[in-house]
Structure 1
Amino acid sequence: MSILVPEFSLYGERQRETVREFLHVEEISARSAARNWQIDTHVHNGLLQLLFVFSGSARIRLDSEEQDYGAAFAVVIPEGVIHAFKFQPGTEGCVLTLDAAGLASASPDGSQMFSVLRGSAEVLALTRDDTAARVHGILEQIKAEFAHPGAGSTTLYVWLVRSLLLLLVRATLRQADAQPDEGMRETAEGFRQMIEQHYLDHWPVSSYARQLNLSESRLNRLCEKRFGRTAFALIQERLLLEAQRRLIYTGVPVSQLAYELGFSDPPYFCRFFKRLSGHSPGSFRGRNRQ
């Protein structure tokens, strides 16, 4: 599959450099000001990126969706998500790029440290209470340590990033207007991770439920409470997202793409795509390529 979207470690740097102590932090203006406050479409592999805007606004593209946002907000960009930014000149904020695997290896709870941010990209409002101020304070500490690292920097980074992630989890829960208990959250995130592994296999909901030791009805209730959609809808959305990515960023013919996505025949794929997106695959590709 020929990917047409640029892949970077840090934007504009094609050769991956070692990220100091598993992370890199810089002001939004560091790369965007010299580029007319615009960061074109690109993707990071192996890195989690968190973007924070405390004043100003930006037009954010995450995969095939594009929308304007005003401060204060955070953008969670998991690895492999195609994204782009167009900032209002003078926008203030910073970009935190994390080698999640490396940082998790230094954390007492390992991969659980980042489990709350797995899945699709999100834009989180930071306008409630003093969330923006507290997030800004933690980022200032990360920036200070990044500029002048010392003994135990990795340990300090782990605890600062953990605190930052917990504040983002709060913002996520508030945005969803839900407070699921720990067991529900872990099961729901486990389902999302399982979708990532098997959506191309076209598993039915019953197969996911069986792997999670749940009934189909209970899995659907959990998904509706946590994500506002049924389990089947989440599976379909992930498959549609992959189809949209490949239509925009690869040159694979629609007929071949249908088989790559696990459909039994191209007409079936075209009906699926039009039902969920409102456009035929060819029309969608043409509109977004323009």
Structure 2
Amino acid sequence: MLETGIATPGYRITPLQQIAKGGRWRTEAMRSYAQPVLYWFTRGQGRITIQGATHGYGPHNAVLLPPGTMHGFDTLGQVAGSAIFLRPDPSLDVPETAIHLRLRDATLQAELNLQVDNIQRELDRGAQASDRALLHHAGLMLLWLERQAGPDWQEGAEPGGSAGRLAAAFTALLERDFRRGRTVAEYAAQLGITPTHLSRACKAASGRPASALLQDRLHYEARRLLRETSLPVKDVAQALGFRSAAYFTRAFQQRTGQTPSAFRRGG
């Protein structure tokens, strides 16, 4: 089963290779999950965009994302590793900002593998799996990640410079409001800057203008709804703030090369 940020998420571990098999949009398009997620890359390299800022990643990189963090990653060649999805729980002390660790020491790599294996072994118990055990394993893993990041991890996790800060502010608004049909100009006005200034900041931070990030987020959600729900196309269009089903169909086809109905039939 591909991970897609469903309404009542629980603990799951999914191989990154499985997610990537769903198509490039499954990894590269901007999305967020309603739960904390740890990407543990054990092989391969590429770029990951988090809150509008793009950085490289390589083997033995761990990326922890709080719930609702807009992100996407590309891959150069084959990638291996796991996506560890944690249940959103008030008892879990989840960091408020992302953590990106480059674990070059083999001992640290083995320690994180053990943390992930502990969760996997509990999940392998199936119906006998204990929510209490999973909560404790998840809490220990989060604490381990914070300790490896060190006392200054929060400062280091923030996008650098004014461009990074603007891109982060924009993506936070975008994640909240992308279903409302808002334009880049409206987001820029809310931030107190011009659309040109906003697009330049996003381009500097992520290599993409603000409009590309907006369209990426919209069309990821459109594809997700078409593939994973039975909502009529007109309802998908309405849910994402498009003026009409016809306008949505034109925009979707221009973006993907397929009509929404053809994309849905693709399975």
Place the TM-score, normalised by the shorter chain, in its bin: 0.5 to 0.7
Answer whether contact 2:92 2:139 (CA < 8 A) is retained: no
SS in 2 for 1:114: coil
Q: Which amino acid aligns with 2:97?
A: S
Q: Which residue of structure 2 lines up, in the alignment, with residue 115 of structure 1?
A: 97
Does the alignment pair 1:218 with 2:203?
no
**TM-superposed deviation, 1:195:** 0.5
**TM-superposed deviation, 1:254:** 1.2
Q: Which amino acid aligns with 1:115?
A: T
Which one of the candidate residues 103, 112, 118 is aligned to 1:139?
Answer: 112
- How many correspondences in the alignment? 215
Moved more, 186-195 or 263-272: 186-195
Q: Which residue of structure 2 lines up, in the alignment, with residue 109 of structure 1?
A: none
Q: Which amino acid aligns with 1:180?
A: G
SS in 2 for 1:54: strand
**TM-superposed deviation, 1:275:** 0.8
- Matched residues in 2 for 1:92 and 1:203: separation? 36
Q: Which amino acid aligns with 1:9?
A: G
Q: Which residue of structure 2 lines up, in the alignment, with residue 249 of structure 1?
A: 228
Deviations 1:26-45 (A, max 9, x none): xx7xx98xxxx97999xx97
Does the alignment pair 1:268 with 2:250?
no
- TM value normalised by structure 1: 0.54
Q: Which residue of structure 1 lines up, in the alignment, with residue 183 of structure 2?
A: 204
- Matched residues in 2 for 1:136 and 1:46: separation? 27
Q: Which residue of structure 1 lines up, in the alignment, with residue 28 of structure 2?
A: none
- Matched residues in 2 for 1:96 and 1:265: separation? 35
Moved more, 228-237 or 208-217: 208-217
Larger radius of gyration: 1
Which one of the candidate residues 97, 100, 103 is aligned to 2:86?
Answer: 97
**TM-superposed deviation, 1:243:** 0.5
- Matched residues in 2 for 1:131 and 1:215: separation? 42
Answer whether contact 1:100 1:114 (CA < 8 A) is retained: no
Does the alignment pair 1:161 with 2:141?
no
Q: Which amino acid aligns with 2:146?
A: R
- Matched residues in 1 for 2:114 and 2:91: separation? 20
- TM value normalised by structure 2: 0.58
- Matched residues in 1 for 2:176 and 2:254: separation? 24
Q: Which residue of structure 2 lines up, in the alignment, with residue 228 of structure 1?
A: 207
Specify whether residues 264 and 92 from structure 1 end up closer, same or farther in structure 2 by C-alpha distance, changes over 3 A only. Answer: closer
Gaps spanning 5+ residues in structure 2: where?
23-31, 46-56, 71-79, 120-132
Q: Which amino acid aligns with 2:209?
A: T
- Matched residues in 1 for 2:226 and 2:238: separation? 13
SS in 2 for 1:115: coil
- Matched residues in 2 for 1:273 and 1:279: separation? 7
- Matched residues in 1 for 2:107 and 2:193: separation? 38
Q: Which amino acid aligns with 1:116?
A: A
Gaps spanning 5+ residues in structure 1: where?
12-27, 58-68, 82-90, 106-112, 118-123, 174-178
**TM-superposed deviation, 1:47:** 2.7
- Matched residues in 1 for 2:138 and 2:229: separation? 39
